Amino acid sequence: MLYHIMAEITNEDKERVKLLQLVSKSKNEFKNLSVAQLKRLQELVEKKDYSHDKKAHKSKVKLLGKINVRIYELEERRGIWD
């Protein structure tokens, strides 16, 4: 049974977990992510279905909002200073 569960873990799952671990370490880690990393995390989190877990789904929506704000901040700053 454990093998069956392990076989279902994809490379995208591993990548998403790795990025989420970085983000969850501290606020500084989140602010240190590049635009490319943020966009990739956004894509990976959006793909994951958390509808079966109300609390997880709420966290997903909140995180996606934070990612959008951070991407906007980084892209606006680049636009102003470039």
Residue with tokens 């454990």: 2
> Taking 70 as the threshold, does the pLDDT of residue 63 lie above it?
yes
Residue 45 · residue 71 · CB < 8 Å: no
> Taking 60 as the threshold, does the pLDDT of residue 4 lie above it?
no
* C-alpha distances in Å from residue 46, one per residue of 12, 50, 80, 82: 12, 10, 29, 30
**Band of pLDDT at residue 16, cut at 50, 70 and 90:** very high
Note the pLDDT tens digit of each residue in 38-60.
999 999 999 999 889 999 999 99
Domain count, the chain: 1
Look up the pTM and report it: 0.78
Residue 15: Cβ within 10 Å count: 14
Rounded to whole angstroms, how far apart are CA atoms 80 and 82? 6
Structural domain containing residue 35: 2-81
